Structure 1
Amino acid sequence: MKVLVLGGGVIGVSAAYFLARAGHEVEVVDRQAGPALETSFANAGEVSPGYSAPWAGPGVPVKAIKWMLMQHSPLVIWPLLDPAMWRWGAMMLDNCTARAYALNKSRMVPLAEYSRDVLKALRAETGIAYDDRAQGTLQLFRTQKQLDGIGGDVEVLKQYGVPFEVLDRDGFCAVEPALRRTQHKFVGALRLPKDETGDCFLFTNRLAEMARGLGVRFRFDTAITGIDRVGDRIERVRTSAGDLRADRFVLALGSHSPKLLAPLGIRIPVYPVKGYSITVPITDPAGAPESTIMDETHKVAVTRLGDRIRVGGTAELAGYSEALREPRRATLEHVVSDLFPDGGDVSKASFWCGLRPMTPDGTPVVGPTPIGNLLLATGHGTLGWTMACGTGRVIADLVSGRTPEIDVSGLGMDRYRGAWQG
């Protein structure tokens, strides 16, 4: 079967690889010059099933107000005249209940855990390397109130069988020795020892090369201008390189997915939430992180990627703007300098932003559509890297007519039926 994958980020390339491995003829089309040059390019580097949780939850609206009043705010909202943004925000508020949080997390965790297992198997089978480390994630708390408030999270971790450790200062310094220099700023930590890290850009490019070896064709520098539908089938995709046809189509265009779906009569609540990162060269390995540290106060992740430190965070609602705003850089520089003052040279950091494709319930949209030969793989938000390999396997199974190895009934767009009119 010929399958056309729209999108060359980590989700699209993962889907292409597993589709090709399943025996399909696969072609990938993307407007960029190569793989992973948009949202997959410089994310925080975390493969963190343990942190697979929706942003919407009990107490979040009140917290959001407090966050926006902070000097180094983890949340920024630009009041745009964009009805889609406000509808998306209203849907997110509707998900800020204990019941919705539990349901949404129950849909996210199995895909994230499965994806990590698929990634491990891929690494064992192929030897793919991407500055990967499997040394866990450490969530640091600056106040006793934060530490005392992890009871709910711990119960969820227990429910899903996710290993964890609650650590005092000696405990978190044992796994992250460089924190001994700044340990007095924190009262404790929650560690998820099974989480991993790695360079998503490097992974995607190496997986693309492996996909080429399986016969996948990549069309880069090719803009997608439209999709033509005839009845309940996609007939062709219009591009700057001409019309492309296939038996099945997989849409993996992140935040840009709704733009192409709307003319087809398909509306999904995926909206861009901008994230920022800086990449800092390591100057003192002993003063740098060993794995990933999450600063709970600023919602910023600090990750070691080879000879670099990746610092990622901030949620900015600004539509499709990719403007690099200096206050966001200041927040990232503040966090890494506060935690690891001797680890890297912040003056030589590169600055980046990407548009995370967020759903209001946190769960990605993976699976079939009302159009018989069109599948979706989008809406992964901050968890695209975490969920990529699992999503690719699920898509390959669905296209091949196989039942996926996990329950995907809650991942489809049908959960929004009647709730989203874009």
Structure 2
Amino acid sequence: MDTVSHIQHGLWRHPSARQDEFNCLQHWIDLVHTLERGRIDLLFFADVLGLYGPARGDFTVNAREGLQFPNGDPSVLVAALLSQTHDLGFAITSSVLQTYPFEFARRMATLDHLSGGRVGWNIVTSAQESAARNFGLDHLLEHDERYRQAEEYAEVCYKLWEGSWDDGAVVDDCHPEDISKAVYADASRIHRIDHEGRWYRVQGPAMQSPSPQRTPVLFQAGSSPVGRDFAARHAEGQFILASTPEKTQALIEDTRRRVVAAGRDPHNLVFILGQSFIVGSTEAEARHKEREIDDYLSDDGFLLHSNLGFDPTTGEPLDPDTPLSELHTNTNVSHLRWLRELAGDTDPTVRDLARLSARLRGRIVGTPDQIADQLEAWRARGVGGINIMNWTIPGSYEEFVDHIVPTLQERGLAQREYRPGTLRRKLTGRDLLPDTHPAARWRGAFA
């Protein structure tokens, strides 16, 4: 995230950390050069539009910890980084709350053009009450209702990306012998979409011509039942957090069944597990580094980031001894489920939130070979990719690229070279979404 403290709260204070330089472009340029050197597939930017905690609550902790506050617009940052990279993909989080689908579709098509087809969209619905109020709403919509809105939002984008311009609409015959016959685009192959739904009315046509991927690579992160249904219909990659191996495998298998029920190939959705890494030349060295890192962790930061330690109606802090089984939330539904799974057979309390949240950001500690062993075990559970969550920037990524990637490459778990072409081609072997994806139904629909 384009911020000070994204996930591992407190680590920005580490002597080697440069997270507080997030407003410096060179900070990010150095990072993307490291990632390309390691043949990393993509840089995924998260985003939020409001503060964690009660909508009208005190934000002292947010400010003191730099907890996703302040933060910058990832789409602007990515635009600046495109010229510094050749193969690295960029996935941008954008909520259905923050911008009208017509404007968003144009922005993403523009980035896809400028990057040669290297962008993706992480579809989110926003989970902060303060975010809803920042966009003129009295309160956050109910959890499942937000996903219904996201369905229509995605449909509008698909119509613009896939249906508004036919193949061959851009003629680009600018230098015929008879200059009066010069044609850039054929209007007969460009169409209004005339969408009228519950949430949006969009006439069209799309203001940007089809980009190399048409629709950016699609990601999603919700793992509630309705979130899994949404991912099954739309996503090509789903970000998940580490529960137990058995429950993670069960979640993956359940979601794959939903993919099949949605009429898609179950292998068209890849599960990307969030993990952090502490590597040493020996296990003892890695454990020493782990203890050092734990000294910097902020309990206040993890508790606030859980967004669960207060009464959602009154905004008052909950009794620390309140069991998590008694919490009812309209926001971090999947987050609460993961926390309860991590606790095993016990019923953790609000007092346990910070400790459990720190564990939820799964960590693997050891030598490169030990780390590779664990990643192979996760792959056997159905995990198809790893979301590398940093402790420090640039240190966490430099260590991963320099010490872990070579071992993964030796085992065939990481690529040695990039596949040419778009981000989707690099990941799936194709430039466009398959015909079984719901976006494909709009191809030629307005001709």
Q: TM-score by structure 1 length? A: 0.27
Greater share of residues in helix: 2
- Higher relative CO (CA 8 A, sep ≥ 6), structure 1 or 2? 1
Greater share of residues in strand: 1
Q: TM-score by structure 2 length? A: 0.26
Structure with the greater alpha carbon radius of gyration: 2
